[in-house]
Structure 1
């Protein structure tokens, strides 16, 4: 698979269109394959809608300074849509195939099974499911060692993170090839186990439900809760990851704060997991002990702190909140 291998998307819906923009922007030819048999008239409508959305997205990116209008036209020439009956060429030449049909197990298995029998043995196949475990689909694939899940966050053409979830049969070399491909188009891949919710959806479900619960309880207005998220929660975690932030302050702080919240609010949803107490007992409190969830041994702590604070200053500038001192 070359750096600009042809990409095939099974389905021409929202996910297929987002992936098409991401890869075409990075120089790959992309073919969206309609997986449903339609009349010529109905396919023409689908094709016009899919290409129209891609064109609109590129025009928006041009207005936002991501590319020029002329460049948008060049990118546009790399994207095509073909009817189900004409998928042979797109699949036979594809370096990687992404399945993006609705979240119905039987439908996905049907589409993946058909595609896996028509691509070359070296072609990597990925689902983009946001809910179904990869091993619930891999049995439909010929040579499941080249199959895995690649979960994009919407809008796929903008959000850097992509969650890569291999199955029990996935060849580790395939995972590395997919990571390399994604990094080549400017994405930031992370690998996670085949588990419901992956990483981001699992964390954000807790956060979103808690925000909604606070509105329900009258803790604060929706406007003030969202302001708190933008300028406090999101501000810090755009610079420090969640686990890095635990280490930054110390796992012991989280441990005692969690115990208090569990008692004060009468809910075990605030209870810290066993790993927090275990790390404390092992002296892995965080930055100040040289180890926590991350290893800080040999690190210039002063330089590290200044680097992170510098990034926070840049965030202040981004929000227009960086001010000179009053003298």
Structure 2
């Protein structure tokens, strides 16, 4: 099989809700045939109504993508034609020959157990089976899949057809080759896969839960208006971290700055949630404060620091232009 065929592997999305539809758009946009499978038993009339609704929504998404310059409007029909919608009764046939299957049914163990039992019986023996769950650990689901080595979690961020990141969480029994196959597929459609342990909240939901709760507390405490909190996160917090990773940012300023800021915030608020984790103090003690030490969370050994800083500042400048927030220059 040549590379052209590999790039056009058929994808199945089991569960025709928001996530299934978003993945269908993402893969169809990149040229993949997609089988979007309704996981709920319905009458023929109910399924026909659902299919009409799904097709209308998918078309509207493609046309919206065209309106914002991601494609041409005349391409919508061709992309939509790559997506075939199957009813629950047609599930076994729809899985035949499909190498990658994404599950997106409701977030209950009962629903997951039922669908994975069905997938285990009807999917091709070497098909990769991935859950898109945002709440259930891969280790808690892996036992529902046979063989368990072909299973892992793949958490997409909504809207799935736009957000590049996909968080992969293999279970303890997942074959590393399965993870590698899924990484390859996602990279071929322009996604940015990352891998994390089977831990509650993956990476992004865990970080953003803390940030969102803190934003809500600022409102609750009357620290700032809703509008100003959102401006601060868009043009300060979000602006920085669209260019620098969080750990990279710690290194940029120095882990010691975070350490002292955390101590101050803990004392000033009386809240332990602001305390720095032990790794920050350990890094300081070991001379790993960040960029100026040549090592921190990242290793800067042999790095042309001036070129690196120039590249990052250039990225910040590009963000300013994108946001139409260039500094006002005097004459």
TM-score, structure 2 as length reference = 0.97
1:157 aligns with 2:161: yes
Aligned to 1:59: 63
Question: For the residues of structure 2 that align with 1:321 and 1:175, how far apart are their CA atoms?
Answer: 41
1:207 aligned to 208, 211, 218, which one?
A: 211
Question: For the residues of structure 1 that align with 2:59 and 2:295, how far apart are their CA atoms?
Answer: 49
Contact 1:162 1:187 in 2 (8 A): yes
TM-superposition CA deviations, 1:9-60 (whole Å, max 9, x none)? 1111111000000000001111111112111100011111111111110010
1:31 aligns with 2:35: yes
1:47 aligns with 2:15: no
Instruction: Give the 4+ runs in structure 1 shifted more than 3 A.
Output: none
Q: CA deviation at 1:323?
A: 4.2
TM-score, structure 1 as length reference = 0.98
Aligned to 1:148: 152
Mapping of residues 299-318 of structure 1, within 5 Å: 299-318=303-322
2:78 aligned to 66, 74, 77, which one?
A: 74
Question: For the residues of structure 1 that align with 2:287 and 2:151, how far apart are their CA atoms?
Answer: 41
Aligned to 1:17: 21
TM-superposition CA deviations, 1:143-196 (whole Å, max 9, x none)? 111100000000000000000000011001111111110000110000011111
1:176 aligns with 2:180: yes
Mapping of residues 83-102 of structure 1, within 5 Å: 83-102=87-106
Q: CA deviation at 1:3?
A: 2.0
Cα root mean square deviation, aligned: 1.0
1:2 aligns with 2:6: yes
2:302 aligned to 279, 294, 298, which one?
A: 298
Question: For the residues of structure 1 that align with 2:117 and 2:91, how far apart are their CA atoms?
Answer: 14
TM-superposition CA deviations, 1:115-143 (whole Å, max 9, x none)? 11111111100000000011111111111
Q: CA deviation at 1:324?
A: 6.0
Give the count of matched residue pairs: 327
Tell me the SS of whatever aligns to 1:311: helix
Gaps of 5+ in 1: none
